[in-house]
Amino acid sequence: MNLSNNFTLAELVKSQTAVRKNINNEPGTAEINNLIHLAEAVLQPVREHFGKPVMISSGYRSPALCEAIGSSAKSQHAQGEAADFEIPGVDNMQLATWISKNTIFDQLILEYYEPGDPNSGWVHCSAVKEGPRAQVLKATKVEGKTKYENILL
């Protein structure tokens, strides 16, 4: 099933962890509709602007899969509203900056990015149909724990 011109449902539900642990990672109708919105609002514009494939590392995660990886079952991933991704050859700071200025998103997190290392980290972005927060954060590890800070891009 196509979610947009360049994104399929299969690539946004793919999970090696779900396969290894035999966890059902099939979204329902509401989650699929949210994934379509995410693809149309954020992922497809990114693909069209940069002209390169977007590598999705995590899209939809069922509540059981979220719990299996230590995430919250209430994560936006479990609602089909979020994806983690990169574009090979594009600095993740450049990617996050473009998203922040050119799309309507709910939450944008530059995860574990190290200035000077364009391949470090990844981008987490969510989109909601109503009341997007336009929240921009940076995630770093501090004493073994993830710390989130508001940032301006």
Residue 56: phi and psi, rounded to 5, are -85, 120
- Which one has a higher pLDDT value, 34 or 152? 34
Q: What is the pLDDT of residues 92-116, one digit of tens each?
A: 999 999 999 999 999 999 999 999 9
* pLDDT attached to residue 118: 86
Query: What are the angstrom distances between the C-alpha of 136 and each of 25, 123, 151?
Result: 28, 11, 6
Residue 73: phi and psi, rounded to 5, are -65, -15
* pLDDT attached to residue 153: 87
For the segment 56-75, the average pLDDT, to the nearest whole number, is: 95
Q: What is the pLDDT of residues 14-30, one digit of tens each?
A: 999 999 999 999 999 99
Confidence of residue 127 (pLDDT cuts 50, 70, 90): very high
Q: CA neighbours within 13 Å on the CB side: how many for 127?
A: 22
3-state DSSP helix/strand/coil percent for the chain, to nearest 5?
35, 25, 40
Residue type at 143 in one-letter notation = E
